[in-house]
Amino acid sequence: MKPALRIDGAKLSNASWSTSNPYMVEVASLDAEFSLLPLLQKEIIVEKVVIRSPKIHLEENSKGQVNWGLPMKKANKKPEENGKKLTEIEKSKKDGFDLNVKNFEINNAMISYNGSIYKIDHLALSASSDEVLVDFNSVLKDIPISLKGKFGGINALIKNKKNFPVDFEAKIALVNLKISGIIEDLKALNGLKLNTVIVADDLVNSLKILKLDVAKSLPLLKIDTFISGNLSNISLNNLKVNFGKNIIDGNVNYIPQNLKADLKFNTIDLSEVVLNGDNENENGNIPVATKPKNNKIFSKNKIDLSSLNLLKFDIKILIDGFENNFVNNLNNIKITAINNKELTAKMEANVEQGKIVGDVIINKNYDIVTKFDVESDDLSKTYKDETKKIESGKLSLKGNFKTKGENVADIMGNLDGNLLLQAENANVNFEIPSIEGSVINTILRGSKKDMVSCFVTNLDFKDGVASLNRRIGVETSKINMTFEGNVDFKKEYLKLVAKPMSKKLVGQTTDFISSVAKLEGPLSNPKVVVSPLSVVSLGTALIDKVSAVASKTGVDLTTYDKNPCKTALNKGVMEKVEAPKSNNPKTNGVNGGNTVAPQDLLKDLEDTGRNIRDELKDIHKNLKGLFK
C-alpha cells in the first residue's frame, strides 16, 4: 500500500515579531508518497517527495531571535533507565523509527535571509538510514553553486551519531572543491578529519563572477590539505599549494585570535601573473608619463592597525628562491612574523655573491623601528643588469630608522635615522643618452667606461629631512665628485647639485661645472637642469685657468676634496689637503700648504684643457638649436 498526498498553496505563518513577510514558508505544491506496511517494522519509507516553487523567508531580529526556531522542552530522564539494562523491545522503542527517503526533489526554490536572496534551481535527495545522496544547483547573489555527493544517513543526522561521513564535490563560480572524510561530532562540528582539494583552473573568470575583476592572467591554483580540529581550533595539515610555478608546503593552525603558520616555498615566480593596469592603459598601450596629482607620492590614507589587537600570530616562512627583476638568485629567504601586542618581523636572504637582512617592529600606537643590511661582493653578479653597464664592484647598504605615523606621508615625514650606501671598485659603463647625457659624459672625460674606486651616500634624517652637502661622494679614475642640496620627505622635494672635480685639473672644475647639471623638483618628478652656456664656456674657462697656473700663488686647494668618499663617511667634514712637494723650493708651502706649485701642473693643464675644449665643440653644435 502506497498512499499519495498532494497539497497545493501550502503556507506557514511567520513569527509574530516579523514585519517583512506574513509567511515564513510558501509552497506552490507538494506531492508525497509513502509505504504503509514497513510501519509495522518501525520503519518509515518515503517513496517520493516533490516540492515545487517553495519560498522560504528566514530572518533574525535585533534580539537574536530567529523565525525558524521552535521552543523545545527538555526531556525528563526516566528513573528506570538509571542502572537498568533495557530489553531489545525497550531498546527498539527508545531508538524510535528508522526513516528512509528514496527520492526527494525541490525545484525552483527561493530562500531569503535578511534581504539576501538564495535560489535553488534544482535539489535532488535520496536518503536512507545509511546515507544521503545529494545533487543540487543554485545561485547566491548571482554566483552559481553546485554540489554532488553523499553524506551520513538520516538516522546518523537525527541522532547525532559519531563519525558522520562526508564525501562530495562542489563548484562555486568556476572553482572546484572536493572534500572527503568524517566529522566525529556533527552537532558541534568537532573532530573534523577531512581531505580537501580546491582547484581553480580559470581563476581570472572565477574572480570576475565574484565581482573581482583584478587580473588579465593568472596561473592554475590548486590547494591540497587535511583539515582537522573544530571551528574554534582548526588546522590545515600537510598543506600543499600549487600556483603556477610556485609550490608551498607547510602547516597552519588557527584558534580564536591566534594564528600559527610554518610554510615553505620552492620559489616565488609571478611571471604568469598580469594584473589589470600593469604597464598599459585602457587601450592596451603603454601609458604616457603624467604628472601625479598634487605632486605627491606618499599616501595620506590611514593604515589600520586595529588587527594587531585582534589577532596574534606566529608565522615562519622559508622560500627556496624568488624570481624578480632586481637581483640574481634571491634564495634561502627566511621570514618570521610575530604579533603579540606589537608586530615583529624579520627577514634574511641570500643573493648571488651577497646577503640581505632586515627587521621591523610596529606597535598599535604607530611607532615603527626598522633596520636593514644588504651586502654584495660582486655587483655584476648580484644585480640584474641586462645592459651590462656594471662589470664589477662591491656594495654595502645599511639603514637604521625610527618613525611614527598613521599613514605613509606621516611615516616618511617623521623619519629619523641613518642610511649608508657604500660601493667599491666598480667598473661601470657611464654612457648616457640624450643631449643632457652627452654633457654628463663629457664631464666624465668623454669615456664610456670608468672605474669607480668608491661611491658613498651617508644621510642622517631628522623629521624626514636630510642634508646632502658632501654626504654623497664619488671617486673614479678621472674625477672626484661631491654633491650639495637636501631631500625633504615632508615637503616631498629634492635638490641635488653636482660638484665634479677633475683629478688632472686640481681645484679648477668646481664652480662652473656645478652649474652644468642639477637635479631639482618634487620627488614625484624632479628635473635635470642643464645650462648650455656653462657647457660652451667650459673649454674656454679651462684654458683661461691655465694662465692662472703660471702665477706665483699657484692653484687653490681649499675647495678641492681629495677623498669625497671619506668626507661622506665623516658626515661631510672634509679632510685637510696638504700641497705636494715641488721641485722648486721657492713655491713649497705657498699659502700655508693649500696650494700646488704651478710648474708641476702646467703641461697637464694645457693638454687636458685643449682636449676638453675640442670635445665641447661637438656638443656646441648639438646645442645650437636650443639657442634659436
Whether the pLDDT of residue 381 is over 80: the answer is yes
Those residues whose C-beta lies under 8 Å from the C-beta of residue 154, and which sit 6 or more positions away, are: 98, 99, 100, 101, 127, 128, 129, 132
Whether the pLDDT of residue 437 is over 60: the answer is no
Strands (E), 186-292: 190-200, 215-217, 221-230, 233-243, 246-255, 258-265, 274-275
Q: Which pairs from 284-288 meet CB under 8 Å and 24+ separation?
A: none
Q: Residue 598 has what pLDDT?
A: 45
Strands (E), 244-353: 246-255, 258-265, 274-275, 312-322, 330-339, 342-351
* Range with lowest mean pLDDT among 34-43, 156-165, 293-302, 523-532: 523-532
* Range with lowest mean pLDDT among 280-284, 404-408, 432-436: 432-436
Q: What digits encode the pLDDT tens for the residues 262-285?
A: 999 998 888 888 988 655 544 444
**Radius of gyration over alpha carbons of the chain, in Å?**
39
Whether the pLDDT of residue 447 is over 60: the answer is no
Q: Residue 291 has what pLDDT?
A: 43
Whether the pLDDT of residue 588 is over 50: the answer is no
Cell match 608551498: residue? 248
pTM for the structure as a whole? 0.69
Q: What digits encode the pLDDT tens for the residues 61-89?
A: 888 788 876 554 454 555 455 555 545 44
Those residues whose C-beta lies under 8 Å from the C-beta of residue 365, and which sit 6 or more positions away, are: 404
Whether the pLDDT of residue 22 is over 70: the answer is yes
Can you tell me whether residue 216 is helix, strand or coil? strand
User: Quick one: DSSP state of residue 578?
Assistant: P
Report phi then psi at 78, rounded to 5: -75, 130
Going by pLDDT thresholds of 50, 70 and 90, the confidence category of residue 294 is low
Q: Residue 268 has what pLDDT?
A: 87
DSSP track, 344-406: EEEEEEEETTEEEEEEEEEETT-EEEEEEEEEES-HHHHB--TT--EEEEEEEEEEEEEEE-S
Q: Residue 460 has what pLDDT?
A: 97
Q: Residue 482 has what pLDDT?
A: 85
> Does residue 123 or residue 35 have the better pLDDT?
35
Whether the pLDDT of residue 409 is over 70: the answer is yes
> Does residue 197 or residue 507 have the better pLDDT?
197
- Quick check: 508 and 545 in contact, CB under 8 A? yes
CA–CA gap between residue 346 and residue 358 (Å, rounded): 6
* Half-sphere exposure of residue 22: CA atoms within 13 angstroms, side-chain side: 1
pLDDT, mean over the chain: 77
> Does residue 341 or residue 294 have the better pLDDT?
341
Report phi then psi at 174, rounded to 5: -115, 20
| Beta-strand relationship, 246-255 and 258-265 | antiparallel
Going by pLDDT thresholds of 50, 70 and 90, the confidence category of residue 96 is low
CA–CA gap between residue 598 and residue 606 (Å, rounded): 12
Q: What percent of the chain clears pLDDT 70, i.e. is strictly above it?
A: 71
CA–CA gap between residue 509 and residue 562 (Å, rounded): 13
Strands (E), 53-130: 55-58, 98-113, 116-127
Whether the pLDDT of residue 490 is over 90: the answer is yes
Whether the pLDDT of residue 445 is over 80: the answer is no
Q: What digits encode the pLDDT tens for the residues 318-330?
A: 999 888 878 889 8
Whether the pLDDT of residue 186 is over 50: the answer is yes
> Does residue 616 or residue 132 have the better pLDDT?
132
Q: What mean pLDDT is predicted for residues 440-462?
A: 70
Whether the pLDDT of residue 625 is over 50: the answer is no
Whether the pLDDT of residue 356 is over 90: the answer is yes
CA–CA gap between residue 409 and residue 81 (Å, rounded): 73
Q: Residue 41 has what pLDDT?
A: 79
* Range with lowest mean pLDDT among 108-122, 435-449, 485-499: 435-449
Q: Please name the helix (run of DSSP H) or strand (run of DSSP E) that holds residue 45, with its range, or none.
A: strand 43-52
Whether the pLDDT of residue 252 is over 90: the answer is yes
DSSP track, 412-424: HHT-EEEEEEEEE
Going by pLDDT thresholds of 50, 70 and 90, the confidence category of residue 578 is low
Whether the pLDDT of residue 333 is over 90: the answer is yes
* Range with lowest mean pLDDT among 143-147, 217-221, 382-386, 559-563: 559-563
Q: What percent of the chain clears pLDDT 90, i.e. is strictly above it?
A: 32
CA torsion angle for 530, 424, 468, 300 (degrees, to 10)?
90
Whether the pLDDT of residue 525 is over 60: the answer is yes
Residue 603 CB-density burial (10 A; 0-12 exposed, 13-18 middle, 19+ buried): exposed
- Quick check: 508 and 542 in contact, CB under 8 A? yes
> Does residue 79 or residue 502 have the better pLDDT?
502
Whether the pLDDT of residue 497 is over 70: the answer is yes
Whether the pLDDT of residue 544 is over 60: the answer is no
Cell of 314: 606566529
CA–CA gap between residue 515 and residue 439 (Å, rounded): 11
Length of the chain: 628
In 151-182, which positions are buried (b, 16+ CB within 10 angstroms) versus exposed (e)?
bbbbbbbeeeeeebebbbebebbbbbbbbbbb
Going by pLDDT thresholds of 50, 70 and 90, the confidence category of residue 408 is very high
Residue 80 CB-density burial (10 A; 0-12 exposed, 13-18 middle, 19+ buried): exposed
Q: What mean pLDDT is predicted for residues 147-157?
A: 84
User: Quick one: DSSP state of residue 462?
Assistant: B
Cell match 672635480: residue? 501
